[in-house]
Homo-oligomer: A and B are copies of this chain.
Amino acid sequence: MTLAFTEPPSPKPGQLLARGVCRMLAAHGFVTVEEMVPSRGLRVDVMALGPKGEIWIVECKSCRADFQGDAKWHGYLEWCDRYFWAVDQEFPTDLLPDTSGLIVADAYDGEILRMAPETKLAPARRKVMIQKFATHAARRLQALRDPGVAAIYGPDPA
């Protein structure tokens, strides 16, 4: 008899960066979700919500190829007040557009090296984004708290 079981997959380098980024943002008073879908076809690594309703997006890039293969990042700008790249210490930061914010992180923490310029969301879009953020966070939380609910939401709630 063979027992089949699945180990949870090891986190990818980008996910470890995201963890450190989320810890750093928590220390700044922001709450975060990962892999949120602000709009169809887009999935952001980290979306952060500040105490005054500020919305930040952080894309985590583990290496040059990871950055160069990302054709979608311009599409994220219109869904946040501030947009950041997060990379590790080895990353060639000259590659990154200096019109975005810059965070250097590892799996445990991070630091904002360059604050992103602010382009404020229109109030109606901010309202929609906070509602989406709340929905995403609560669905994921419920799925962890009560695995039996997965059948209602399906395997990958957005």
A residues with a Cβ closer than 8 A to B are 19, 22-23, 26-27, 31-34, 49, 51, 53, 108, 127, 130-131, 133-135, 137-142, 144-146, 148-149, 152-153
**Residue in B26, B133, B145, B152 whose CB lies within 8 Å of A153:** B26
Complex Cα spacing A141 to B108, Å = 17
Complex Cα spacing A19 to B147, Å = 11
Complex Cα spacing A53 to B141, Å = 18
CB <8 Å contact, B142 and A138? no
Query: Assuming the A-B contacts A22-B149, A26-B149, A130-B131, are A140 and B142 also in contact, with contact meaning beta carbons closer than 8 angstroms in the complex?
Result: no
Q: How many copies does the complex hold?
A: 2
Question: Given the complex, which residues of B lie within 8 Å of A27, measured CB to CB?
Answer: 152
User: Distance (Å) between the CB of A107 and the closest chain B CB?
Assistant: 9
CB <8 Å contact, A23 and B108? no
A-B contacts, 19 of them at CB < 8 A, read: A22-B149, A23-B148, A31-B134, A31-B135, A31-B142, A33-B141, A49-B131, A53-B127, A53-B131, A108-B148, A127-B127, A130-B130, A130-B134, A133-B134, A137-B137, A140-B141, A141-B144, A144-B144, A144-B145
